[in-house]
Copies of this chain bind each other. A is one copy, B any other.
Amino acid sequence: MHDISIPALFGALAAMLVAAKLLGELAERAGQPAVLGELVAGVLLGAGVLGVVPTEGPAGEIVHVLAELGVVLLLFEIGLETDLREMFRVGPAALAVATVGVILPFAFGFVYWAYVPHPDGGGSTDLTTAAIFVGATLTATSVGITARVLSDLRRMSTVEARIIIGAAVIDDVLGLVILTVVSGLAAGASLAPIGILRTLAVAVVFLVGAVLVGRYVAPRLFDQVVRMRVRYVLLVFAIAFALALSSIAALAGSAVIIGAFAAGLILSGTNQFDTIEREVRPVASIFAPIFFVSVGASVNLRLLDPSRPGSAALLGVAAVITLLAVVGKLAAGWAAPWVKYRRLVVGVGMVPRGEVGLIFADIGRRAGILNEAVFGAILLMIMATTFVAPPGLKALFGSSRAEPVS
């Protein structure tokens, strides 16, 4: 009746969950955030090493959907834990950090690729288009990874965490705009300012509108829901609300995770938010590891093999791009000088590209704009930035003496 092998899929999911927790535990015992271990678990289970995580065909689709459920539940949980008033207070700072954190890395990547001599693996298409793609992949911030690290370190309530989360969400809005542009370029279109502005407007209007309407409607709705007698009705309605808002966000031209975050922000204003939060956690704890293992599994360790032809040039390009990626985001940490916070923490928190960078790079590769060598270098940059942020934040937040505020 169905094409998929349920036993094989369930076996793979079990392996992903166990590996995530075992390596997460190892990471924590080594003084690192657990999410670092989950990413490493993904690398080990991925196509390059053990090949346990399905990435192709129907099973790959299902793991992808479960991973999306994981990141949706994660952002929903983060939204629930977010104090909207505190968020508004850091709003301008987050906006500044996000904007600088998009413009600088893009400019660095574009200039490097368009104007600085470098090995390019041969056979590149239009240099300007390729340079735009390289720049675009440098702009991403993986809110999921940073948020998990902050949560692992129990620092979600710090001003730095609020700025990072706020900036990462704004970065996702800007990322949508960039994604629209690069997808258009990949399809052969030219740059159209009106389309760009419309994408931006839709994403902003959705987020603001949903939160404004939702904060009025949701408390009244959930005061009715809580009067129902069926089991776990609050939890099921809350998750349905998150899924519905994720769906509406994407259909309105915004992103799934922005809808999930907005749903969390909205429900944090209900009278039942503590029950919802307590019951959502175990559900999220099952799916979030699948997301992080999936991100890790997309890493191809063979790119690091020194015996591969051209690997020296590849590593050189990767090193330069990684440096630009890190410097661009670190600098963004200093983008809001009128607010007191630890600049370096915010800069490091913006560094991981994670799955967002992967999506950009993949579009460029599939359109033939980025050849295998350039794609490989970008993958190495994404890996390096994703893996460096968890220990970096841990080192900064874990230090006993507080960093002086500039």
Judge whether A239 and B286 touch: CB under 8 Å. Answer: yes
Interface string of A46-69 (1 = CB under 8 A from B): 000000000000100110110010
Q: Please, how many angstroms separate the alpha-carbon atoms of A244 and B247 in the complex?
A: 31
A69-96 toward B: CB 8 Å interface, digit per residue (1/0)?
0001000000000000000000000000
Task: Point out the residues of chain B lying under 8 angstroms from A289, CB to CB.
Answer: 236
Q: Which of A20-28, A304-312, A371-379, A390-398 contacts B (4 or more CB under 8 A)?
A: A20-28
Q: Give the one of A2, A247, A366 with max B CB within 10 A.
A: A247
Complex Cα gap A4–B65 (Å)? 9
**Interface with B: A210-218, A225-233, A265-273, which one?**
A225-233
**Known contacts A11-B243, A21-B237, A241-B14: A61-B62 contact under CB 8 Å:** yes
Set of chain B residues within 8 Å of A338, measured between Cβ atoms: none
Interface residues of A in 335-353 (CB under 8 A from B): none
Contact between B282 and A1, CB atoms less than 8 A apart? no
Task: Say whether A61 contacts B2, CB under 8 Å.
Answer: yes
Q: Which residues of B contact A103 (CB under 8 A)?
A: none
Cα–Cα, bound, A281→B286 (Å): 13
Chain A, interface size category, equals: 35 or more
In the assembled complex, which residues on chain B have CB atoms less than 8 Å from the CB atom of A10?
72, 243-244, 246-247, 250, 256
Which residue of B has the minimal Cβ distance to A282? B279
Which residues of A in the span 6-60 have a Cβ within 8 Å of any Cβ on B?
6-11, 13-15, 17-18, 20-21, 24-25, 28-29, 34, 58
State in angstroms the CA–CA spacing of A289 and B230 once bound together.
12
Judge whether A3 is part of the interface by a CB distance below 8 angstroms.
Answer: yes
- What's the nearest-Cβ distance from chain B to residue A145, in Å? 16
* B230 pairs with A34, CB closer than 8 A: yes
Q: Which residues of B contact A246 (CB under 8 A)?
A: 7, 10
A1 to B282, CA, bound (A): 29
CB of A240 within 8 Å of the partner chain: yes
Contact bitstring A344-372, B, C-beta under 8 A = 1, else 0: 00000000000000010011001000000
**Closest-CB distance, A369 to chain B (whole angstroms):** 15
A244 to B52, CA, bound (A): 14
* Closest beta carbon of chain B to A42's beta carbon, Å: 15
Decide yes or no whether A383 CB sits under 8 A from chain B. no
Which of chain B's residues have a CB closer than 8 A to the CB of A235? Answer: 282, 285-286
Measured in the bound complex, the distance between the Cα atoms of B34 and A287 in whole Å is 27
Q: Is A283 an interface residue (CB 8 A)?
A: yes
Listed from nearest, the 6 A-B pairs whose CB atoms lie closest are A232-B285, A7-B250, A11-B247, A14-B244, A17-B240, A14-B243
A-B contacts, 28 of them at CB < 8 A, read A1-B363, A1-B366, A3-B61, A6-B247, A6-B250, A7-B247, A7-B256, A10-B243, A10-B247, A10-B250, A11-B247, A13-B240, A13-B243, A14-B240, A14-B243, A15-B240, A18-B237, A21-B230, A25-B228, A25-B229, A25-B233, A62-B62, A232-B281, A232-B286, A235-B282, A235-B286, A236-B286, A239-B286
